[in-house]
Amino acid sequence: MNIERPILDPIKLEIIANGLRSIADECFVALMRSSYSTNIKERRDHSIAIVDREGRLVMQAALTLPIHIASMGGLMRCVLDKYGDDIEEGDIFIANDPHTAGGTHLPDINYAMPIFVEGELVAFICNIAHHADIGGMVPGSMAGGMSEIYQEGLRIPVIKLFRRGELQNDIMELLMLNVRVPEERRGDHNAQIASCRLGARRFREVVDVHGLANVLTSFDEIISRTAQRMRMAISEIPDGTYDFEDFMDGDGIETFDIPIRLSLTVKGDHIHLDFTGTSPQVAGNINTTLNAVQASVGYALIAVLDSDLPSNQGVLDVIEITLEPGTLLNSVFPAPVAARAHACQRAIDVVLGALSQALPDRVIAAANGANTTAVFSGVDPRTGKPYLYLETLGGGMGARSHKDGKDGVQVGITNTSNLPVESIEQEYPLRVEEYSFVEDSGGAGKFRGGMGLRRVVTPVGHECVFNGAGERFRYQPWGLFGGEAGGSGQFRIRDGEGERRLDDKPGEVQIGPENRIVIETPGAGGYGAPGERAASAVDEDRSSGKFSHSFIKRHYAGVKSER
């Protein structure tokens, strides 16, 4: 499009940028409020972005999940490569496949709608939502034990779900035939479609106010200024090479103690992250794709260097990453990737561990470093219809150089909420008998790590299937500068004969009303030596009920109480 690009003054640019941001935010809320599943309407496991006609991500909604920048960017590259000039007004593209369509795992379904102004393609409005099930061998499409992408669910290449405004009903029928609760899935798809249409309408309104030339110029300015800010932030890191490694617990099938290694080099405003030495891709589904690692690294650098920095193409443009194909963090077909968030979280941990050597005051200790997944599925005795409850639970956030870590929150590349007990018990035939913090799970230190979460869940009046996927169940979240490690997580089952631990990535576990599933998520590491903790803080730990008497005595015996 040959449109003369004006020079925007900073005020005009900020006004347009805020207008674009408001579009993304409104579409985020619209998708949340019109979706059917608790995973979207309550937990907010979805994202919105505005992308330019070249496929560059320009603006994300404020509550967007950091990992979704990878999926939406990957989708757009595939759309443009596959369809080129065959993009028409009213089209809506859909995809999810990590190996052919730029996705990161199958439950995240991507939508992209081109936006035309006066007959010319100028941008795309994109969204992504985590569907509670996408078919496959295990309900919820997320459990351990799956050894190839085919087992994980329905693979969707980049296709047109709408052509010139007309829904391709046969494609929608195919999507619904491959999922376990089609009514809920159809509702979530319709919410994504409506969100796209709202975004396109709002974008044209911004163009009407500010003019197309100004809006297109703002795209370039937003991206270039973000890149400039990122380079300036990188230049504040002392030059040098910083090495760190950490380990995944296991792949859920055959491999344990899986290394992720990083050599991070800074020279001026250039940063290079070399993951050479990281494990080859594994049989289990904790592998991830390169675009997901790019998003994870981008998040980590923003969090440490400039937390107000917009998350767009400008961040990715200035980061150099070396990752060999066929490795855990850059897996190739037919690698299973359903639980890829665990590896992404650990990639963030190794970036923070490396940066702790250069910027000790800015980096936090290891957080829960996981995306603890719990799925219950069966037939609801109240309705006779299938149900599927999926949740990824938060845990501890790492302690900071000046403050304790937060308790029971999502960390790293996720930005979802913990599902309220009321929502679980209203929507599903399940009872939550306990929802609490895990005692002693926050690592001791001058500033303590955050606490893990505990849920105890039982089916009401029926039998069902439980599956899950956990990490940091063996390798505890590490502390920094004398801080102690946080507690690890676990899955357990109770019955009339007592309680036993389940596998860390259990497949299908049959349970009934006589059983209780206990889910405990990891805590987080502490920062600084425990002996340096303020007496008032130790007194608060003692009275809060979060820590046992033995824990306080073991870690803070030398700290004199003020009481």
Distance of CA 81 to the CA centre of its chain: 26
Q: How many CB atoms lie within 10 A of CB 514?
A: 11
CA distance 103 to 85: 22
Two tokens at 555? Answer: 């870690």
Contact of 100 with 157, CB cutoff 8 Å = yes
Question: Looking at this protein, which amino acid is placed at residue 285?
Answer: N
Contact of 149 with 334, CB cutoff 8 Å = yes
Is the pTM above the cut of 0.75? Answer: yes
Contact of 326 with 376, CB cutoff 8 Å = no
Length in residues, the chain: 563
CA distance 481 to 203: 49
Two tokens at 367? Answer: 């957080």
Which residues fall within 8 angstroms of residue 391, CB to CB, at 6 or more apart?
Answer: 38, 39, 43, 373, 374, 375, 418, 419
Return the CA Rg of the chain: 24
Q: pLDDT in tens for each of the 563 residues of the chain?
A: 566 778 899 999 999 999 999 999 999 999 999 999 999 999 999 999 999 999 999 999 988 888 887 778 888 999 999 999 999 999 999 999 999 999 999 999 999 999 999 999 999 999 999 999 999 999 999 888 899 999 999 999 999 999 999 999 999 999 999 999 999 999 999 999 999 999 999 999 999 999 999 999 999 999 999 999 999 999 999 999 999 999 999 999 999 999 999 999 999 999 999 999 999 999 999 999 999 999 999 999 999 999 999 989 999 999 999 999 999 999 999 999 999 999 999 999 999 999 999 999 999 999 998 889 999 999 999 999 999 999 999 999 999 999 999 999 999 988 888 999 999 999 999 999 999 999 999 999 999 999 999 999 999 999 999 999 999 999 999 999 999 999 999 999 999 889 999 999 999 999 999 999 999 999 999 999 999 999 999 999 999 999 999 999 999 998 877 66
CA distance 435 to 128: 29
CA distance 208 to 163: 26
Which residues fall within 8 angstroms of residue 455, CB to CB, at 6 or more apart?
Answer: 374, 393, 432, 434, 435, 518, 519
Contact of 30 with 129, CB cutoff 8 Å = no
CA neighbours closer than 13 Å in the CB half-sphere of residue 143: 24
Contact of 354 with 262, CB cutoff 8 Å = yes
> Of 495, 443, 499, 447, which Cα lies nearest the Cα of 472?
443
Residue boundaries of the structural domains of the chain: 10-229, 364-563
Spell out where 382-474 has E strands: 386-392, 430-437, 453-459, 464-469
> Of 424, 444, 423, 396, which Cα lies nearest the Cα of 557?
444
> Of 303, 486, 518, which Cα lies nearest the Cα of 396?
486
Q: Which pLDDT does position 546 carry in this prediction?
A: 97
Q: Which residue has the tokens 């999507």?
A: 175
> H-type helices in 66-211, by residue range?
68-83, 169-177, 182-210
CA distance 404 to 534: 12
CA distances to 19, 92, 378, 382 from 427, in Å: 36, 31, 13, 11
